[in-house]
Homo-oligomer: A and B are copies of this chain.
Amino acid sequence: MGASAKRRSTPHVQQKRKERRAAILHAALSAFREQGFHATSLDDIAARLGVRNTALYYYFADKDALLYECHRESLAELERMIEASAACCESPEERLAYLLREHVRIMTDTLEGSPLAFEVPALSPKRRAAIVAGRDRYEQLLRKLISAGIAAGAFRAVNPKVVVFAMLGSINWIARWYQPGGRMNAGELGQQFADYLIAGLK
Which A residues have a C-beta under 8 Å from some C-beta of B?
Answer: 36, 38, 118, 121-122, 156, 158-159, 162-163, 165-174, 176-177, 184, 189, 192-193, 195-202
With both beta carbons as reference points, the residue of chain B lying nearest to A162 in the complex is identified as B192
Q: List 23 A-B contacts (CB under 8 A).
A: A36-B121, A118-B118, A156-B199, A158-B192, A158-B195, A158-B196, A159-B192, A162-B184, A162-B192, A163-B196, A166-B173, A167-B170, A169-B171, A169-B172, A169-B173, A170-B170, A172-B173, A173-B173, A198-B200, A199-B199, A199-B200, A199-B201, A202-B202
A165 & B177 in contact (Cβ 8 Å cutoff)? yes
Secondary structure of the A contact surface, majority rule: helix
Given known contacts A199-B200, A200-B199, A202-B202, is B170 in contact with A193 (CB within 8 Å)? no
Given known contacts A173-B172, A173-B173, A202-B202, is B38 in contact with A196 (CB within 8 Å)? no
